[in-house]
């Protein structure tokens, strides 16, 4: 297992003004590198967070012309850091967009991409509703990629509510799980810490979860970006309504130590599943 390294969660408050948002994101990336970070992670929709009153996302840009990609590829090479871009929206073949995550190495090369699999279609009450599937297309592929410190398993935001995805990532060798997010304030205050700690405990992985913070028009995100150890302990946490660079030192050797204490991944067994419940005929 590799040596210890520093991760920086770059917690921003993205707006619908992409140019302004990217300027601020670059400033904070430079701050993170100056503080010794080796791996930087941004939040979901880090370059532009623009949704309408129905929770529908607007404004995807083609990958080849998206300003965030060359900007942060060049920055990764200049600063000598790896960058998890969180996510941006790029057009999908069906006319919607993919919510796509990018992992860029310290030479400015894209090492992996991942499209968010699970889409946030919910009604939280009080006119607080989201319909991601109206504008976003789901991904179809789970992704694990190599880094100098171990294997990184990729996910985005609402994926965190589907634990089987993370168990599959861990069984594929993931040591660290990414969960860049734009968690709503309402769900965040009740579920954010619990879900992320559970995913760490279940898999024996580190969890890196950068969340947007503050207000974005009518929307409000939760902040509280978290670095969680494989035992489920919180190693670092961001503020609620402010931008911040949250740094933690990570020892990859802790993954093997925790899994040796509770080898739950090895104890998995196949079993006969019960039949799915049938919908009530009256519904």
Active-site residues, by number, are 44, 116, 157
List the structure tokens of 95.
Answer: 């006319």
Nearest Cα to 72, choosing from 113, 22, 38, 33?
A: 22
181 forms beta bridges with: 211
Pairing of strands 88-91, 82-84: unpaired
User: In this structure, how many other beta carbons lie within 10 angstroms of the beta carbon of residue 97?
Assistant: 21
DSSP result, 72-131? HHHHHHHHT-EEE---EEEE-TTSSEEEEEEEE-TTS-EEEEEE--S--EEE-STT-EEE
Query: 7 — phi, psi (to 5°)?
Result: -110, 145
Q: What is each CA distance from 75 to 9, 36, 40, in whole angstroms?
A: 16, 15, 11
Which residues are CB-contacts of 278 (< 8 A; sequence separation ≥ 6)? Answer: none
């Amino acid at each position: 297992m590799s040596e210890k390294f520093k991760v920086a969660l770059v917690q921003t408050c993205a707006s619908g003004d992409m140019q302004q948002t990217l300027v601020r994101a670059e400033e904070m990336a430079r701050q993170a590198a100056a503080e010794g970070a080796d791996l930087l992670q941004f939040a979901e929709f880090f370059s532009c967070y623009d949704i309408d009153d129905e929770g529908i996302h607007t404004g995807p840009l083609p990958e080849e012309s998206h300003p965030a990609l060359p900007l942060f590829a060049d920055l990764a090479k200049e600063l000598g850091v790896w960058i998890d871009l969180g996510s941006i929206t790029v057009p999908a073949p069906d006319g919607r967009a993919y919510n796509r995550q990018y992992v860029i190495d310290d030479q400015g090369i894209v090492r992996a991409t991942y499209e968010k699999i699970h889409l946030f279609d919910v009604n939280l009450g009080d006119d607080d509703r989201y319909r991601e599937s109206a504008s976003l297309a789901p991904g179809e592929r789970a992704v694990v990629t190599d880094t100098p410190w171990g294997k990184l398993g990729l996910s985005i935001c609402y994926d965190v509510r589907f634990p089987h995805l993370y168990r599959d990532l861990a069984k594929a060798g993931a040591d660290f799980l990414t969960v860049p997010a734009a968690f709503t304030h309402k769900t965040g205050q009740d579920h954010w810490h619990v879900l992320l700690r559970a995913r760490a405990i279940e898999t024996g992985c580190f969890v890196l979860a950068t969340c947007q913070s503050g207000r974005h028009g009518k929307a409000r995100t939760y902040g509280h970006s978290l670095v969680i150890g494989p035992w489920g302990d919180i190693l670092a946490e961001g503020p609620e309504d402010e931008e911040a660079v949250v740094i933690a030192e990570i020892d990859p050797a802790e993954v093997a130590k925790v899994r040796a204490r509770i080898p739950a991944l090895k104890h998995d067994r196949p079993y006969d599943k019960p039949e799915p419940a049938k919908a009530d005929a009256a519904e």
